[in-house]
Amino acid sequence: MRRKRLLVVALATIVTASVHGTAWALDRVSGTLTRTFTIVDNTELVGDVICDVTSAPCFTFGVSDVELRLNGFSITGKADPVTGCNGAAFAGEMGIVTSGARNVVVRGPGLVQRFRADGIFVTGSTSVRVELVTVSTNCMSGIRVAANSFGTIVQDNIAVRNGASQAGLSCGGI
């Protein structure tokens, strides 16, 4: 009888530690970031993130075939909470950038807000999925997919108050 119980516990542990056959999550992030966090393994937020990075992204994918899970938390940049950019954007200050990685996922629920450029920028990448994310008060687009990206799926997201009043930077939601 005791052997059966141990076997069941071991199987439950394996199922809990595995999502779609991939161990979850090896990197856990929360608190204040003062430099770009490069995602090199499955990563999840375990608390809100304040991004105090100037002229560079908060998160960037450094490898393919990984996922960033927001887990209901927020990633907040340096833009003003009321006015956003107040008419100006800062090149490079984005929340999340795919940086040419393939088969990567940004999965909510969660909030990406107050970045002085784009909230999420898909660039040079193939087979990216962005889902269940709220993007708000970002100075350019909430979610922007560059023309050099292919096979991107953007679904079940909410975009509110994105875009700057500066000519050429009005951008917007998605």
Q: Distance between CA 53 and CA 75 in Å, rounded?
A: 12
Instruction: Give the closest residue to 128 by CA, choosing from 158, 149, 109.
Output: 149
**Position 15 confidence tier, pLDDT thresholds 50, 70, 90:** very low
Q: Distance between CA 100 and CA 121 in Å, rounded?
A: 11
159-174 mean pLDDT: 74
Q: Distance between CA 121 and CA 8 in Å, rounded?
A: 44
Residue found by looking up tokens 């950038």 in the block:
97
Q: Lowest-confidence range among 21-25, 72-76, 135-139?
A: 21-25
pLDDT for residue 7: 34
Q: Distance between CA 93 and CA 13 in Å, rounded?
A: 40
